[in-house]
Amino acid sequence: MVVGVPLNEETTHLIDDSFLSRMQDGSLLVNIARGRVADTEAVLAHAQSGRLRFALDVTDPEPLPDGHPLFALSNVLISPHVGGATSAALPRLAKLLRHQIERMQDGEEPLNVVLRT
């Protein structure tokens, strides 16, 4: 299961003990949302039991402190939350920025607008 939700009051600790308990044994939970979407203590308990597997791009707190027990578990993968920082990113960003500027110079709306004020 991949979790990719915004962080708000409804999603804080959405992934809690009750949620994890309903997952089938051996399931993989991937959190690409925000760290506080998952209750770290519940994740730790289910990971330590060996019943579930986790791939965490985000944690709470972020970063986890040195020596946190999640780092020692073979069924937990923790990535550094820098998925876009690749050698291919900079040229793609430059191309997108050029395209956005050209669109706006031509009187067009920019692409990929998330929020308008």
Q: Which residues are tagged catalytic?
A: 34, 62, 81
Q: What is the dihedral of CA 52, 55, 59, 64, to 10 degrees?
A: 90
Is the previous residue joined to 80 through a cis bond, with omega within 30 degrees of 0?
no
- Give the pair of three-digit tokens for residue 10: 């409804």
Cβ(68)–Cβ(40) below 8 Å: no
**CB atoms near residue 78 (< 10 Å):** 17
